[in-house]
Amino acid sequence: MAKSRITGDAEARPDSAAPRANIPEWSVSELSAALKKTVEDAYGYVRVRGEVSGFKGPSPSGHCYFRLKDDRAVLEGVIWKGVWGRMRVKPEEGLDVIVSGKLTTFAGSSKYQLVIDTLEPAGVGALMKLLEERKKKLAAEGLFDEARKQLIPFLPRVIGVVTSPTGAVIRDILHRLADRFPRRVLVWPVRVQGENSAAEVANAIAGFNALAEGGALPRPDLIIVARGGGSLEDLWSFNEEIVVRAAADSMIPLISAVGHETDVTLIDFAADRRAPTPSAAAEMAVPVRAELMAQIAALTARRLACWQRGVEQHRKELYLLSRALPALDELLAVPRQRLDACAGRLPRALRANAQLHHTQLTRITARLLPRLLKLRLARSSEIVVALEKRGKLARKNYMQRRWDRVRSAEQLLKAFSYQGVLARGFALVRDGDGHPLRSAAAVGNRMRLEIEFFDGRVGATADGEGAPQPAAKPKPSAKPRPRGGGDKSGGQGSLFGA
């Protein structure tokens, strides 16, 4: 029906005499729907080659919008969010691609567009161009710097292998390790090509790094990422940024063994070492045990030979030194002569020593007579008595000096104590809390007071507001009051001028 309407409208001539009122009316939505059906019926599923232009990555909704162009035309393209996640090769600006999808229209902007289902580079040249651009980008970020690369351990205890569990690669690696130096191998099975292979390889590298030291599953000392040979498209998963970044961020040393000797992928530049084949990666991972044993045996033999040569050299040196020494009889001749001379003088020396001690004993015996002992004892007794007298006199003098110091301190204490001031006729006034009052202004009406004299304390109550009184001027004709005068009763008088 829509097709017939369009045809009829096209056959109508502008100068037709038919009345224009007979032309059917279209709404905008109806016309857009008719155009959409016509385009989709005529071009249901198409395959288009062109250059990606205006690509800015996924929108906030997850869909991607860009243009396909050649030297004469431009075609709008869209990739829905679900299709974008499954794509192995992502579009990039300037990439020559071949896309397949459904041609349709978008009524919201009156344009036609291609809803893309698949996307692949247009030949090996496009892939190589994309690979070179990605390599430059990652190299500019420093992911390929030699300073980032780690040393491969000489003899790892555990080796982690990221590869397909069903291919010949894992068998080659295990066989090569068994021939050289058997080690424990942990295999993280992944798909090495396909849509999700890149994410699986990156997750495997991160998973090995996430293993804890000393856990139930041992943490590898070395990781080997391996795959057999194939075309550039087959090896493309190892050119993805997610794999390259995972290899560069690995804290465990990593060997890349992807493809054959002529195959080069971006993970080779980010890895710590590149092996031309998976078997070569196994050779890099461990040394040859037989060669190590032969090397150890050779070093042991060299060490023994060096020790033997050293002993022989010391023996020769000792022999030469012994020839320079005098004979044993010559060394002992002089000491033996001295010993014979001392042995000849020894009897005489013993007799002389005994005579000397006898003489000394006789002299001492003469000094040990009873009379002399009594005199010595009496003299010692006199000395003891004299010392005892001197000790008593010294103790008496010492105690006298101490008592004099105590009395002097007592007098000084009395002189500085306020009790001495009270003894001279003064009094100390305190408030009800026992705090001394220093001025009349501190005394309030009916305030409870405590007055301390030399011989005791009495209570009192103030009969007026305390106020300082002007000092009375002395009379010219007044005579000085004799010392000891004042109140005949012996009191001090009022402290407040009463």
Residue 444 scores a pLDDT above 90: no
Every domain of the chain and the residues it spans: 2-14+24-131, 148-287, 290-339, 348-398, 421-461
Residue 19 scores a pLDDT above 70: no
C-alpha span between 225 and 266 (Å, rounded): 12
Average pLDDT over residues 294-307: 94
Give pLDDT, residue 306: 96
Residue 471 scores a pLDDT above 60: no
Same fold, 2-14+24-131 and 148-287: no
Structure tokens that stand for 362 in this block: 């006789």
Give pLDDT, residue 496: 43
Residue 254 scores a pLDDT above 80: yes
C-alpha span between 319 and 317 (Å, rounded): 5
Q: How confident is the model at residue 125 (pLDDT cuts 50, 70, 90)?
A: low
Average pLDDT over residues 170-178: 93
Instruction: Determine the topology of domain 2-14+24-131 in CATH.
Output: OB fold (Dihydrolipoamide Acetyltransferase, E2P) (2.40.50)
Backbone angles phi, psi at 99, to 5 degrees: -120, 155
Residue 490 scores a pLDDT above 70: no
Q: How confident is the model at residue 123 (pLDDT cuts 50, 70, 90)?
A: low
User: What's the one-letter identity of residue 198?
Assistant: A
Average pLDDT over residues 194-223: 91
C-alpha span between 207 and 219 (Å, rounded): 10
Segment among 47-51, 352-356, 381-385 with least mean pLDDT: 47-51
Cβ atoms 427, 457 nearer than 8 A: no
Average pLDDT over residues 353-376: 84
Q: Which residue has the tokens 């590298």?
A: 205
The overall average pLDDT reported for the chain is 83
Give pLDDT, residue 132: 84
Q: What percent of the chain has pLDDT over 90?
A: 35
Q: How confident is the model at residue 486 (pLDDT cuts 50, 70, 90)?
A: very low
CATH class (in words) of the domain with range 148-287: alpha beta
Q: What is the 3-state secondary structure (H, E, C) of the chain?
A: CHHHHHHHHHHCCCCCCCCHHHCCCCCHHHHHHHHHHHHHHHCCCEEEEEEEECCCCCCCCCCEEEEEECCCCEEEEEECHHHHHHCCCCCCCCCEEEEEEEEEEECCCCEEEEEEEEEEECCHHHHHHHHHHHHHHHHHCCCCCHHHCCCCCCCCCEEEEEECCCCHHHHHHHHHHHHHCCCEEEEEECCCCCCCHHHHHHHHHHHHHHCCCCCCCCCCCEEEEEECCCCCCCCHHHHCHHHHHHHHHCCCCEEEEECCCCCCCHHHHHCCEECCCHHHHHHHHCCCHHHHHHHHHHHHHHHHHHHHHHHHHHHHHHHHHHHHCCCHHHHHHHHHHHHHHHHHHHHHHHHHHHHHHHHHHHHHHHCCCHHHHHHHHHHHHHHHHHHHHHHHHHHHHHHHHHHHHHHHHHHHHHHHCHHHHHHCCCCEEEECCCCECCCHHHCCCCCEEEEEECCEEEEEECCCCCCCCCCCCCCCCCCCCCCCCCCCCCCCCCCCCC
Q: How confident is the model at residue 124 (pLDDT cuts 50, 70, 90)?
A: low
Q: How confident is the model at residue 472 (pLDDT cuts 50, 70, 90)?
A: very low
92 Cβ contact partners less than 8 Å away, ≥ 6 residues apart: 52, 55, 130, 133
Give pLDDT, residue 160: 95
Give pLDDT, residue 417: 79
Q: Which residue has the higher pLDDT, 285 or 96?
A: 285
